[in-house]
């Protein structure tokens, strides 16, 4: 079974590109079209997501910063990759610790590399705790 990444993106074109990149990188993408939907999915714990890839500027009440904080409430070490065309400059102040950001447009390989690196860092941290 492929590791599942929760993808939060409200733009259909970008969602398709990111989903394809994740699939080609060996991941399954679960799609949330709003921050509210993503937070509900994360808190339900029905799926063991391995990482979160979220746009920052989302339709609805929750933005990507808030979705990432909700993910970290579920798991303090949850891997988070932000994707943004306009809000990247806010990442140092608003992003969760040990996350990464990709500025749109980005190459699909950059996304899968970012997710894989965060997963590897998490595995190394988990081994260090054992």
53 or 104, which is more confident? 53
pLDDT score recorded for residue 106: 94
- What is the band of 25 on the pLDDT scale with cuts at 50, 70, 90? very high
pLDDT score recorded for residue 130: 52
**Above 90 in pLDDT, residue 127?**
no
Give strand pairing partners of 103.
84
CATH of the domain at 54: 3.40.50.2300
Q: List pLDDT tens digits, range 32-89.
A: 999 999 999 999 999 999 999 999 999 889 999 999 999 999 999 999 999 998 888 9
Q: How far apart are CA 52 and CA 4, in angstroms?
A: 9
Q: State which residues form the domain around 66.
A: 4-129
What are φ and ψ of residue 31, in 5° steps? -100, 135
- This prediction's pTM: 0.94
Q: Name 53's Cβ contacts closer than 8 Å, sequence gap at least 6.
A: 5, 6, 7, 8, 9, 18, 22, 81, 83, 111, 115
Number of folded domains that form the chain: 1
């Amino acid at each position: 079974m492929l590791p599942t990444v929760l993808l939060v993106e409200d733009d259909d074109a970008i969602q398709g590109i990111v989903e394809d990149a994740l699939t080609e990188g060996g991941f399954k993408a679960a799609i949330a079209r709003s921050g509210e939907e993503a937070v509900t999915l994360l808190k339900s714990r029905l799926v063991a997501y391995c990482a979160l890839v979220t746009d920052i500027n989302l339709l609805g009440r929750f933005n990507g910063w808030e979705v990432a904080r909700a993910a970290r409430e579920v798991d303090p070490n949850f891997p988070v990759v932000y994707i943004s065309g306009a809000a990247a400059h806010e990442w140092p102040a608003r992003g969760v610790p040990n996350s990464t950001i990709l500025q749109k447009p980005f190459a699909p390989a950059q996304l899968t590399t970012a997710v894989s690196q965060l997963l590897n860092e998490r595995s190394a941290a988990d081994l260090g705790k054992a």
